[in-house]
Amino acid sequence: MNKKKKIEFSAYAFLIPAGIIYLSVIIAPVFYSLYISLFKWNGIGDMQFTGLGNYVKLFTDDKIFAIAIKNNLIWIALTIIVTMSVSLALAVLLNNQFRGRTFFRGFFYFPCVIAPIAVAIIWRWIYNPNVGFINQFFKTIGIDYAQSWISDPKVSLFAIFAASLWQAVGQPMILFLAGLQSVSVDVLEAATIDGAGSVKKFLYVTVPLMKETFIIVIATLIVSAMKVFDVVQGLTAGGPANSTQMLSTYMYSQTFQYNNVGTGTAVACVMVLMMMLVIVPYVSFTAKEN
Amino acid sequence: MMKSKKLVALVLATAMLAATALTGCGGSSEKDRSEDSANGNGNAVELSFWTLSTRQNAVEPIVEEFNSQNEDIEITVSYYDTDGMKDACKVAASSDTLPSMWFNWGGSLGGFYAENGLTYDLTDYAAENDWSNKFSAGALNLCTLSDQLAGYPTSYNVLDVYYRQDIFEQNGIAVPATFEEFESACVVLKEKGITPISTAGLNGWHVMRFVELLIEHYAGAELHDKLNTFEESWTNEAVVKAFEKYQEFCEKGYFPEGFITADPNDTRMATVSGTAAMDIQGQWYDGQILQDGADISQFSTFAFPSGGTDRLSAFAEMVQFNKNLSDEELAAGMKFLDFYYSDENVAQYAEYYNLPLPKTGAAMPEGQPNVEMMLETSNENGTFTITDQALPTEVADVLFSAQDALANGQMTPEEAAQSIQDAIEAYLNK
């Protein structure tokens, strides 16, 4: 009866193609980038070894890099607080039975399928201080308020985030919706019988039962917040005066505009490290709890 | 039965592995393609060409016609916007995937490819094919980078102040002959609710066109040239004064609201609609006005009254060739460009070319009245190299950031000047 499980080597053979692809397009480039980040290189000529010089320079003598890190951290915080809350609220609303529910699910998910660069173009016109929708709307309803939105360094990052939010809520909303539907009706009924109101049921029954969904949503939101690029590049290109510079936009300009490939890849490595520092402990901690 | 299953599984796995490996071999550089072509592996000489999307309406039918007329040559085109072109070429350069030929600008932008040995040096080809009699000396000179003839000259552009004649007349404004008169004109326009200057700061280079004129005004020709060649420090008084004036113009609202992050491709909307009176543009603007269906007679130009000879900024455009092209491919590319820039095509799609062509004795375009006037002005007044081609990209970008910071009051003019000088020193010490 105690039959020893046989190792199916042929099954492992099926993993080889995927393994090769993964190694060649993910693992190898990551290590190659790490290697390049130790050099001064313009992408074409000879590479000059500088050790950790690119990293030291970034952290000690690069004001734009500091702005980019700060902006990425703000973006992560906004994403976790605002994007997650809005998408959860929408999911809860759209989980109820009402006429037109399918339409509204599609309606709120729809921006998610638009390319981020197109979102940037759409919102550039919405934010246009002269003919844009927002300022014109205020004018039409008699409110004497005009804002230059993305041109004002005090609000530009938040204005870009708002544009991004419009597109970003769709994906987590769908995940939350799936999570909500996986919550057992029996458990909710039991809580109702025990006298729990809607809020208590949501906080003490639904949310704990959706723990896996939250892990996935938070992890993917952090990753997407760290690598945000298109919408920023399209709306402000990191301006005005670098006030909306992100690690990704800075990496791009260093690598492909200034030909400082070593510096650019060092920025990329910092991005990866930052993501790992947040994601790995978070996921391993939550996995341990399970 | 079990054995045969295992065998099938192993065969399938091997097939997948082989497919993966073979798929990975699909990419090839221009050098590989060139060798393939030279070995006679293709029926036609295949050339890839990257150019600006603003010219697509002309490029598409011309390429189609060329390909149909020349069965032995196949041109494939990709289109990019202004900044997309700069980025795509840089990416391709670092991955050895540059196309057979690509549009580029002169100065530091095209110079990068020549410096790094990525472009075909056309010096010998030019000598053999009598280019000194074919192209204007000025254009050939601007396409000579790092002691190489780095491209096929396609245009020689000068920038002037385009203005709405009707708006000036309605408001009793004469064409300014001095900087003080220019400022007075801005005052009047602003009072009348018209934005004096249409500009847009996304990517920085459009606003730079005004800032460099202010530098020319305060620095004068000699010092301005020395600033661009780093012979003089950018922290000098003239640059600071230019930045002070630019900041003053921003504060007075002489540019459109929120111009810092506006798209430079949209500045024409304001001048065509009449909400702005002036726009600093090159002679290609006539063609764009015609494309918009606007009334070209409403627009005229004047040289910015910077003082001295009122020099205009200028730059060249070219098509660069991949260094790996074979003689046969180079000849095919030249044949295509000669066809693209033939008199017939230029006449048919005039508004999609930056005219006149930089050829000896090139005709002035019909229906584009400002072109000839601007070129005459540039000959009389002289020119200086436009700043984003005179400076390396990373220094120019610091200037662009300084423009934003000055406009938003985040920097003083002194700090802005210092930031540019710091960037120059960092670049020189790289």
Q: Residue B274: its pLDDT value, please?
A: 93
The answer to the question of residue B127 being in a domain is yes
From residue B21, give the alpha-carbon distance in Å to each of A23, B26, B36, B411.
13, 9, 21, 55
* Site from B250, B261, B427 to mutate, A interface, most A CB atoms within 10 angstroms: B261
Dist. CA B312–CA B20, nearest whole Å: 57
Q: Residue B196: its pLDDT value, please?
A: 97
**Same-domain status, B138 and B193:** no
Q: Using one digit for the tens of pLDDT, what is the confidence trace for B368-385? A: 999 999 989 988 999 999
The answer to the question of residue B17 being in a domain is no
B17–chain A nearest CA distance, Å: 5
Query: For residue A88, which amino acid is it?
Result: L
Q: Residue B30: its pLDDT value, please?
A: 53
**Same-domain status, B310 and B323:** no
Q: CA triplet B402, B404, B405: central angle to 5 degrees? A: 60
From residue B282, give the alpha-carbon distance in Å to each of B94, B159, B289, B336, B413.
31, 4, 12, 26, 28
Q: Residue B4: its pLDDT value, please?
A: 63
Helices (H), A169-260: 170-182, 185-193, 198-201, 207-209, 211-226, 230-235, 247-252
A136–chain B nearest CA distance, Å: 13
> Under 8 Å CB-to-CB from B335, ≥6 apart: which residues?
B70, B73
**Same-domain status, B345 and B416:** no
Q: Using one digit for the tens of pLDDT, what is the confidence trace for B99-148? A: 999 999 988 889 999 989 999 999 999 999 999 999 988 788 889 988 89
**Same-domain status, B391 and B303:** yes
Residue found under tokens 């210092």 = B418
Q: Using one digit for the tens of pLDDT, what is the confidence trace for A232-289? A: 999 998 989 899 999 999 999 999 888 899 999 999 999 999 888 888 887 777 766 6
Closest CB from B94, B410, B411 relative to A44:
B94
Domain containing residue B38: CATH number = 3.40.190.10
The answer to the question of residue B23 being in a domain is no
**What is A40-289's CATH topology?**
MetI-like fold (1.10.3720)
From residue B235, give the alpha-carbon distance in Å to each of A238, B208, B423.
25, 17, 12
How many Cα neighbours within 13 Å face the side chain of A121? Answer: 7
Helix axes A133-140, A116-127, angle to 10 degrees: 40
Q: Residue B254: its pLDDT value, please?
A: 97
Q: How confident is the model at residue B31 (pLDDT cuts 50, 70, 90)?
A: low
**Same-domain status, B122 and B187:** no
Neighbours of A70 (CB within 10 A): 12
The answer to the question of residue B222 being in a domain is yes
The answer to the question of residue B231 being in a domain is yes
Q: Compute the mean pLDDT over every residue in chain B, rounded to the nearest whole number.
A: 89
Binary contact (A150, B258; C-beta < 8 A):
yes
Q: How confident is the model at residue A290 (pLDDT cuts 50, 70, 90)?
A: low
SS3 label, residue B305 = coil
**Same-domain status, B118 and B212:** no
**Same-domain status, B90 and B177:** no
* Cα pseudo-dihedral A96, A101, A106, A111, rounded to 10: -60
**Same-domain status, B37 and B123:** yes
Short-list B90, B115, B156, B79, CA closest to B356: B156
Looking at chain B, the whole-number percentage of residues with pLDDT higher than 70 is 90
Q: Residue B194: its pLDDT value, please?
A: 96
The helix (H) or strand (E) run that includes residue B103 is strand B101-105
**Same-domain status, B224 and B268:** yes
A165–chain B nearest CA distance, Å: 20
- The residue ranking higher by pLDDT, A129 or B340, is B340
* Cα pseudo-dihedral B211, A242, B89, A59, rounded to 10: 130
CB of B318 closer than 8 Å to CB of B148: no
Q: Using one digit for the tens of pLDDT, what is the confidence trace for A133-184? A: 988 888 889 887 777 888 889 999 999 999 999 999 999 999 999 999 988 8
A108–chain B nearest CA distance, Å: 28
User: Chain B: residue nearest A43 by CA?
Assistant: B94
The whole domain housing B81 covers 30-155+317-368
Q: Residue B38: its pLDDT value, please?
A: 44
Range with lowest mean pLDDT among A259-273, B31-45, B240-254, B266-280: B31-45
The helix (H) or strand (E) run that includes residue B282 is strand B276-282
**Same-domain status, B126 and B192:** no
Dist. CA A237–CA A160, nearest whole Å: 11
Number of compact structural domains in chain B:
2
The sign of the CA dihedral B301, B304, B310, B312 is negative
Whole-complex ipTM: 0.76
Q: Compute the mean pLDDT over every residue in chain A, rounded to the nearest whole number.
A: 89
Q: Where do the domains of chain A lie?
A: 40-289
Q: Mean pLDDT, to the nearest integer, of A2-24?
A: 81
Give yes or no for B141 touching A (CB within 8 A): no
Dist. CA B354–CA A84, nearest whole Å: 50
Give B370's strand partners.
none
**Same-domain status, B126 and B180:** no
Considering the entire predicted model, what is its pTM?
0.81
Give yes or no for B166 touching A (CB within 8 A): no
Query: For residue A190, which amino acid is it?
Result: A
Chain B, 54-93: which have a CB under 8 Å from a chain A CB? Answer: 86-87, 90-91, 93
Dist. CA A27–CA A288, nearest whole Å: 26
Q: Using one digit for the tens of pLDDT, what is the confidence trace for B309-354? A: 999 999 989 999 999 999 999 999 999 999 999 989 998 998 888 8
> Under 8 Å CB-to-CB from B145, ≥6 apart: which residues?
B106, B107, B110, B111, B114, B115
Binary contact (B17, A20; C-beta < 8 A):
yes
SS3 label, residue B317 = strand
Q: Using one digit for the tens of pLDDT, what is the confidence trace for B225-249? A: 999 999 999 999 999 999 999 999 9
Q: Residue B40: its pLDDT value, please?
A: 46
> Under 8 Å CB-to-CB from A142, ≥6 apart: which residues?
none
The answer to the question of residue B8 being in a domain is no
Q: Using one digit for the tens of pLDDT, what is the confidence trace for A39-68? A: 999 888 889 999 999 999 999 989 999 999
Binary contact (B202, A239; C-beta < 8 A):
yes
**Same-domain status, B118 and B248:** no
Q: Mean pLDDT, to the nearest integer, of B26-41?
A: 49
Q: Residue B107: its pLDDT value, please?
A: 86
